[in-house]
Structure 1
Amino acid sequence: MTDLGPILLALARNAIASRLGQPARPVEASHAPELDAPGATFVTLTQHGQLRGCIGSLEAWRPLRQDVQQNALAAAFDDPRFEPLAADELDLTRVEVSLLTPAEPMTFSNEADALAQLRPNIDGVIFSVGSRRSTFLPQVWEQLPNPGLFMAHLKQKAGLPADYWSSGVQLARYTVKKWKEAQT
């Protein structure tokens, strides 16, 4: 099997560079068959260790190559938390790509039961209730290592109070393979 990490990182960076009118970097083995199969990715951009954009797909619904390129563009130019990336920022920006496994619904009796089932630093979590939905990648455990705090922030991201809970809450979990560009 092809090592997809370097390929996905190059595809993500090249999509952004192309939009900014900058030259693309060579991509090795860009004809790997895995790139044509459906895949779900998140592309995270950071500058000096701080978040600069993060957009992704929770479900594999388009070819992996297209998913990573579109999510890279969205993270750079359409993340509502940030201004669009400027050309002079690209060299300062570090790209990380997370390849998601299919989400698995969780079964739990209450919030304490759900929290007890979470696996810090392993699980990405999708929280949904009614029309509200949010997710945190497994990497978020680095900032929020306590399951209760992790869940509280996940609820707030969905636009709900940190202490919200109801019988309608649904949770699903997934894992990721992730690759990050080396520091320059």
Structure 2
Amino acid sequence: MSLNDDQKRELLKLARASIQAGLTTGHPLRVDLQQCDPALTAKRASFVTLERGGQLRGCIGMLEAVRPLVQDIAENAFAAAFRDPRFPPLSAAEYTDLDVHVSVLSPAESVRFVSEQDLIAQLQPGVDGLILQEGYRRGTFLPSVWEQLPDPRQFLRHLKQKAGLPADYWSETLKIFRYRTEMFS
């Protein structure tokens, strides 16, 4: 499902409003689904990425669609601002120069491969978001991460490390899922 420009603007406005609500109330914005565009109340997964001065300031999201998109974005925007364990909670002074990016995910699909070489050959830099899963370990990179890691081999090595595995790890039980995003800011 592709979003039109008005819907994208509405979702960005919602993300900012939820962060603003967090600054004033300590809670994410409550979304009234009855007042929303019906297309934005479908269950969809999203990530909200915050940057200041081109530097990451928070990124939180869901890999699976478990709640209406508007609610997912409101919750993820709040969490990216105040609950990302890599950063202290956002301050009011930081809000004014905050860049907000929203990524709406397609459903993830399993990637079939016979070897690490085969997997690497199937990757589409700049297009694929990946979920790597090995037992209870799991990590994901949004397609935007290709900007920092354009080489498929390096992309995969870093994703393994993000999932808590050695960069050179390989196993027959490793699972990879691919998704696409519609990103806007």
Q: Deviations over 1:127-164 (max 9, x none)?
A: 00010000000000000000000000000101111111
Is 1:156 the counterpart of 2:164? The answer is: no
Q: Which residue does the alignment assign to 1:84? A: 89
Give the gaps of 5 or more residues in structure 2: 30-34
Q: Does 1:109 align with 2:153?
A: no
The yes-or-no answer on 1:133 pairing with 2:133 is no
Alignment partner of 2:21 out of 1, 18, 23 = 18
Partners in 2 of 1:2 and 1:149 — Cα distance? Answer: 34
Let me know the Cα RMSD of the aligned residues.
1.4
Equivalent residues of 1:45, 1:95 under 8 A apart: yes
Partner of 1:95: 100
Counterpart Cα distance in 2 of 1:36 and 1:139: 25
Residues of 1 paired with 2:22 and 2:134: CA distance?
Answer: 36
Give the whole-Å Cα distance in 1 for the aligned partners of 2:59 and 2:80. Answer: 5
Q: Could you tell me the TM-score, scaled by structure 1's length?
A: 0.91
Give, in whole Å, the separation in 2 of the partners of 1:39 and 1:86.
29
Q: Secondary structure at the match of 1:144?
A: coil
SS at match of 1:153: helix
Which position in structure 2 is the counterpart of 1:165?
170
1:145 counterpart (131, 135, 150): 150
Say whether residues 1:6 and 2:9 are aligned partners: yes
Give 1:92 shift.
1.5
Question: What amino acid is aligned across from residue 163 of structure 1 in structure 2?
Answer: D
**Number of residue pairs aligned between Structure 1 and Structure 2:** 174
The one-letter code matched in structure 2 to 1:151 is: L
Q: 1: distance between equivalents of 2:108 and 2:14?
A: 24
Deviations 1:15-72 (A, max 9, x none): 00011129x9xxxxx6211121101100000000000000001111101110000000
In structure 2, distance between residues paired with 1:66 and 1:162: 35
Output the TM-score relative to the length of structure 2: 0.91
1:40 and 1:58 in contact (8 A); partners too: yes
Q: Percentage identity across aligned positions?
A: 54
